[in-house]
Amino acid sequence: MRPTTPATGLDAVDLKIVNILQTDARTPNNAVAAAVGIAPSTCHGRIKALQERGVIRGFHADVDPAAVGRGLQALVAIRLHAHARSNLATFKQYLAQLPGVESIFFVTGDRDFLIHVALADSEALRGLVANNLSVHPEVAGTNTSVIFEYVSVERPLG
């Protein structure tokens, strides 16, 4: 039996695999296998198992929003009316379909949601907030913070 980390259920090889794929999801299976010291077939099976367990949620390209015409990023905090809190799933679906929404966070504190948006310019941001959020019947208030710089921090697991 492989020793595992109690909090995650992952052993040292699983953690190494996840770290490699977090750094570069395009790393070929045989290179991952060589780096962690297992056979490519075993590595493939472990990656598949990590996906099935939900540890690896997907593989994606990290696209610079400015390079695709969405150079203004912001965080929009949203407070819902008390009666609207019983419909959180529906409201999350509404947020997910809005243009420019990158991420949705359900948070504690005096706000209910924090959304990360990437849009073309301040006019598009104003339109999103004024025409889609502030006027929504479930929204009690919003607070917008423009992001000057975003730094993604990668830390190895384990």
Query: What is the mean pLDDT of the segment spanning 77-103?
Result: 94
Tokens describing residue 53 = 């367990």
Query: Looking at residue 81, what is its pLDDT?
Result: 95
- pLDDT, one tens digit per residue, over 10-61 is 999 999 999 999 999 999 999 999 999 999 999 999 999 999 999 999 998 8
* 117, 100 contact by CB (below 8 A): yes
pTM of the predicted structure, to 2 decimals: 0.81
* 141, 79 contact by CB (below 8 A): yes
From residue 142, give the alpha-carbon distance in Å to each of 36, 61, 69, 131, 134. Answer: 47, 30, 25, 12, 7
Q: By percentage, how much of the chain surpasses pLDDT 70? A: 94
